[in-house]
Amino acid sequence: MKLVVGLGNPGRRYEETRHNVGFIVVGELARKYSASGLKTRFQGGTAEIVVDGEKILLLTPTTYMNLSGASVLAARDFYKIPQEDILVVCDDLNLPLARLRVRAAGSAGGQKGLEDIIRRLGTDEFARLRIGIGAPPDGWSWPDFVLSKFAKEEIPAMEQAVARAIEAAVVWTREGVQVCMNRYNGKE
C-alpha cells in the first residue's frame, strides 16, 4: 500500500484557500478513482483507491496544517508503510502560481506542515509534491496570504495545476519519484 497525504486545514473557513491545495488534490484524486472506505481515523479523513492494481490510502489530516505529522505517523505506523511509499501534497508560496515541484526528500522549505511531518517521522526521506501558490503581494503577510482564496483570474491556472498534480501522483505511484520529477518539475 502507498500513502498519499494532502495537507490543509479542516473546516469551511479554509475551503478553497491557497493553504488547502493539498486537500483539493487528494479530494479530486478520490473522486477520479471512485474512492471507497471513507472514514475518519488517524486524526484525519481517509479513503482508499486502486490505481493499476496498487492500493493507495488517501489521507487529509484534520489536525490543522502545523500538526499534520501526528496523522501521517499514525497512518504510516498502522499500515507499516515504507518511507519511499509516502507522497505528501502541499502548497508552496516560494513557487510561482500553478508550478509543480516534486522531490524525493529534503527540507521543509518553510512549509510548516512538512516541517511537522519531518519532525514526527524522524526523517525527510519521503516524496513531496509542492504546488506553487505564488508569493504574497506587497503589504500582505504570508499567513494572511496562504489563508486567502485564489483570485478569480488565478482559478483557471490552479485548476490546471490540480489536474497535473493528480497526474503526477499517479505517475509517482506507477513509475516512481524519479520519473515523476523528470516529467513534472519546472513545467507548467
Segment 172-186, tens digit of pLDDT: 999 999 999 999 997
- The residues annotated as belonging to the active site are 19
| Cβ neighbours for 2, distance < 8 A, ≥ 6 positions apart | 54, 55, 56, 57, 81, 85, 86, 87, 173
The three cell numbers locating residue 179: 520519473
Where along the chain do its domains lie?
A: 2-184
Measured CA to CA, the distance from residue 91 to residue 109 in angstroms comes to: 11
pLDDT of residue 59: 98
pLDDT of 55 strictly over 90: yes
Measured CA to CA, the distance from residue 65 to residue 68 in angstroms comes to: 5
Measured CA to CA, the distance from residue 26 to residue 129 in angstroms comes to: 12
Tell me what the mean pLDDT of segment 24-38 comes to. 94
CATH architecture label of 2-184: 3-Layer(aba) Sandwich (3.40)
32-55 CB burial, b ≥16 within 10 A, e <16: ebebeeeeeebbbbbbbbebeeee
Q: Parallel, antiparallel, or unpaired: how do β-strands 54-61 and 100-103 relate? A: unpaired
The three cell numbers locating residue 34: 471512485
Q: What is residue 149's DSSP assignment?
A: B
Segment 57-111, tens digit of pLDDT: 999 999 999 999 999 999 999 999 999 999 999 999 999 999 999 999 999 999 9
Q: Is the pTM of this model over 0.75?
A: yes
pLDDT of residue 188: 58
Backbone φ and ψ for 101, nearest 5 degrees, come out as -140, 120
Of residues 59, 2, 47, the one with CA closest to residue 177: 2
| Cβ neighbours for 20, distance < 8 A, ≥ 6 positions apart | 8, 9, 14, 91
Taking all residues of the chain, what is their mean pLDDT, rounded to a whole number?
Answer: 96
